[in-house]
Structure 1
């Protein structure tokens, strides 16, 4: 029997916290003056979509939002003189929320892809990431994608990991199990219902470094991804300009490196 007791506890807690944040997503806000629905951007207050089940970029501790994405967008907003309010949601719901106008921008470890560019405008990249394959620490059978023939891999719906898995399923002969959030995906492996999962490298590297989760990354990174801050295509050019200007200021004065290195040592890009 695999010893995943801490993994189960660690990510179950994240899952519970994430679920609570999502349940309260219609009213739970932070970071802006006053309360209200998206559309308050006319008063200089923008609603920011985040996925709070995604440490070290976004997570919640004691009712407070924390993480690289959270601190970056707060610092950008402060430098550019606008206010923000956070709206937590499942990652898969972020693009629809931008299309519906219920959020004004999104910072959620979102990879910049050509497909997403058809719907969204992205800021300059703020982080170099990349996907990685993850197995249990005692798994000696899986070292590369070629070893996944006949296996089951878990992925999170709506992500580039999910897209990668779908596009390469026939090539490598594995089956795919889809989940709405990272904790559920991790627990699938812990429970022995999946042989591996695909996750963004900085996310799983952070989790493994914090505690002995009895997990390991295997092989080379599966791709080269860059994260960007997103707004609806053609709708928020002025805001996007402010975001890019603020991001550059943070890089120039060292604030960017301070934020990233607080969560992932020597991983800032």
Structure 2
């Protein structure tokens, strides 16, 4: 072997030893924390109504297009969002499949009352009026936000500024009711309210400029105002949430006893830490609750 080759081999070996030494001295990477998951509960599975238990499926009506609560992924088929994740956790705890069925938002409660499905999950606010048709397992809390086009060219600062202006709301939503109450205070300058089929459609009216503001639940409004893909088009008037109230899973009463079982199952999800992780994943920690309640809306 030549002296040149020997020196090169020695240098390579020395470099390798240095690399190994540095690797040995370097701090080990922090392991990824294990995902917290609520476990299957045989006791809760056995408490399910016989029809649900025998079928092995909970059918859920949803009106998607409501990021970050419930929306379609890029493939146009997969449902994502906080409610999709919580529904998966409930299915795991109860030992059943969760099957989503698309529905127009204004029809969800009537369809549940008619027994066409077991549950409704679509950012539904629990109110006394709605409790006349279904039960609610309440798991979140949010109010109404005022969303405007980026730049707020019309200088809207609060609800009182909406009088005399074109405003969009989703049909059948609590925002539609809020607009009606506001209308009574506007006197000679009434709201020009556009009722869109869904809250997502109401926000599209705003983006198109056919209205000056949209009344919508705070979570999707805040998402649009902060998401890099949409924040150049939308802006929150403020972080104020008007008339905050519980969000609930709407439960058909045709399966007697289902609501209390779901309440206890969601309590398991909360106690396990998975609830906290789901809300953090979708930046919704501000609406977290400490207790899962039944029909707490007013």
Q: Please state which band the TM-score falls in when normalised by the shorter chain.
A: 0.7 to 0.9
Asked whether the 8 Å contact 1:154–1:197 carries over to 2, the reply is yes
- Structure 1 residues not aligned, in runs of 5+: 1-38
Shift of 1:159: 0.5
**After superposition, where does 1:76-95 map in structure 2 within 5 Å?**
76-95=90-109
Q: Which one has the largest radius of gyration?
A: 2
SS at match of 1:119: coil
SS at match of 2:277: helix
Q: Deviations over 1:65-117 (max 9, x none)?
A: 11111110111121112222110112112112212222111111110101001
Shift of 1:241: 2.1
TM-score, normalised by the number of residues in structure 1 = 0.80
Shift of 1:209: 1.8
1:51 has 2:63 as partner: yes
Structure 1 runs of 4+ with >6 Å offset: none
Asked whether the 8 Å contact 2:171–2:199 carries over to 1, the reply is no
1:120 has 2:134 as partner: yes
User: Which of 81, 86, 89 is the matching residue for 1:67?
Assistant: 81
Instruction: Give the Cα–Cα distance (whole angstroms) in 1 for the partners of residues 145 and 115 of structure 2.
Output: 33
Shift of 1:236: 2.8
Shift of 1:138: 1.8
Instruction: Give the Cα–Cα distance (whole angstroms) in 2 for the partners of residues 265 and 85 of structure 1.
Output: 24
Instruction: Give the Cα–Cα distance (whole angstroms) in 2 for the partners of residues 68 and 86 of structure 1.
Output: 14
Instruction: Give the Cα–Cα distance (whole angstroms) in 2 for the partners of residues 193 and 247 of structure 1.
Output: 41
- In structure 2, the CA distance between the partners of 1:183 and 1:121, relative to structure 1 (3 Å rule), is closer
Shift of 1:181: 1.7
SS at match of 1:85: strand
Asked whether the 8 Å contact 1:257–1:268 carries over to 2, the reply is no
Other-structure match for 2:264: 245
Q: Deviations over 1:212-250 (max 9, x none)?
A: 2332222432111111111124x3343212211111111
- Structure 2 residues not aligned, in runs of 5+: 1-49, 289-298
Shift of 1:176: 0.6
1:205 has 2:222 as partner: yes
Other-structure match for 1:7: none
Instruction: Give the Cα–Cα distance (whole angstroms) in 2 for the partners of residues 166 and 144 of structure 1.
Output: 16
User: Which of 248, 264, 267 is the matching residue for 1:228?
Assistant: 248
